[in-house]
Amino acid sequence: MFKDIEKILFDEKTLLNAIKQLGKKISKDYKNKNLFLLSVLKGSIVFMSDLMRNISTHCIIDFMCASSYEGGFKTKGVVKITKDIDISVCGYDLLIVEDILDSGLTLSYILSFLKNKKPKSIKICTLFDKPSRRQADVEADYKCFEIPDEFIVGYGFDYKEKYRNLPFIGVLKKDVYELDVLH
């Protein structure tokens, strides 16, 4: 698996340091609120597990699953909710925990889906932001890093469902996905 990686963009220590800072800020902002952390599967699981352990105020958590990539390389622009939330968000201050804000198509769909469930407030927290790729009118309230238009894997991020278990964020070697880009 490691031989497929061209370069490491963010190592474990860098990621955790940024997430600790973010956790402190969220803890302060949500001190007297009803925080509900909602992780969007699968990409955000590693970020979610690091972030929630760096939040010092009460919170509840749940997961939902939406997919727009279907495991490939570029977004198809079609969003599917494949797992809904189990707990009612009514009255809670919802914080959506996303892996990356790319075209924004997934998040804008999720946002309108969740607004119908009447949370008290709704905000977006993302580990990465690729602003140059935005198509939908959606911005993050909290983010750790802005990155250029490069396809990343590791730390939850996949290419065709693989590489999620890498402990860092890396860029794949071109020959790993070259054949797919041509097709």
Closest residue to bound Mg ion by CB: 43
Candidates 30, 69, 92, 155; binder of ligand IMP (CB under 6 A) is 69
Asked if 50 interacts with ligand IMP (CB under 6 A), we say: no
Please work out the total of residues on this chain that contact ligand IMP, with binding judged by CB under 6 A.
17
Lookup: tokens for 34: 């009803």
- The strand order across the sheet containing 169-172 reads 5-10, 169-172, 152-153
CA 66 to each of CA 28, 39, 59, 78, 79: distance values in angstroms, whole numbers, following the listed order: 29, 10, 22, 10, 7
The DSSP secondary-structure symbol of 28 reads: H
**Interface with ligand IMP, residue 104, by CB under 6 A:** yes
At 154, list the tokens: 């590791």
Instruction: Between 54 and 75, name the residue whose CB sits nearer to ligand IMP.
Output: 75
| Sequence-separated (6 or more) residues with CB below 8 Å from residue 74 | none
Among 8, 68, 85, 117, binds ligand IMP (CB under 6 A): 68
> Quick one: which segment of 4-12, 46-54, 149-157, 172-180 binds ligand IMP (CB under 6 A)?
149-157
Rounded Cα distance between 124 and 140, Å, is 5
Segment lying near ligand IMP (by CB under 6 A), choices 18-26, 55-63, 89-97, 151-159: 151-159
Within 97-136, the residues that bind Mg ion by CB under 5 A are 99
Q: CA quadruple 130, 89, 48, 110: dihedral positive or negative?
A: negative
**Residues belonging to the active site:** 102
Quick one: 22 or 67, whose CB is closer to ligand IMP? Answer: 67
Q: Does 43 engage in binding with Mg ion (CB under 5 A)? A: yes
Least distance (Å) between residue 107 CB and Mg ion: 9
